[in-house]
Amino acid sequence: MLLPMLTSFAGAQLFGESYGTGVPAVLALHGWRRDHRDFAGVLSRPEPAVDSISIDLPGFGATPAPPEVWGSQQYARALVPVLDEMQSRVVVIGHSFGGRVAVHLAQMAPERVAGLVLTASPLFRAFDARRRSPLSFRAVKRLAGLGLLSEQRLEQSRQRYGSADYKAASGIIRDILVKLLAEDYREVLSKIECPVELVWGDDDRDVPLAVAEKVQGALRSRAHLVVCAGAGHLTPLTVPAELRSAIERLTP
pLDDT at 136: 61
Look at residues 183, 186, 184 and name the one whose alpha carbon lies nearest to residue 220. 186
Among 123, 105, 126, 100, smallest CA distance to 115 is for 105
Query: What is the model's pLDDT at position 2?
Result: 44
Non-local CB neighbours of 208 within 8 Å, separated by 6+ positions: 126
Q: Are 197 and 117 in contact (CB under 8 A)?
A: yes
The reported pLDDT for the residue numbered 8 is 39
Determine contact, residues 226/204, Cβ cutoff 8 Å: no
Q: How many residues does the chain have?
A: 252
Distance of CA 187 to the CA centre of its chain: 17
Beta strands 15-19; 8-9: pairing state: unpaired
Distance CA 160, CA 152 (A): 13
15 within 8 A of 2, measured Cβ to Cβ: yes
Q: What is the pTM of this model?
A: 0.85
User: How many other CB atoms sit within 10 Å of the CB of residue 164?
Assistant: 9
Question: In angstroms, rounded to a whole number, what is the distance separating the alpha carbons of residues 104 and 115?
Answer: 13
Mean pLDDT by 10 residues, the chain (252 residues): 41 80 96 96 92 95 93 96 93 98 97 98 72 56 63 60 67 92 95 97 96 96 95 98 97 78
Residue 181, H or E segment: helix 171-181
Distances in whole angstroms, Cα of residue 171 to Cα of each of 48, 59, 72? 41, 11, 17
- Cβ atoms of 203 and 7 within 8 Å: the answer is no
Q: 128: how many CB neighbours lie within 10 A of its CB?
A: 9
C-alpha 5/C-alpha 79 separation (Å) is 12
The reported pLDDT for the residue numbered 118 is: 98
Distance of CA 180 to the CA centre of its chain: 10
- Please give the domain boundaries of the chain with CATH numbers for all domains: 8-124+185-250 (3.40.50.1820), 129-177 (no CATH)
pLDDT value at residue 52: 95
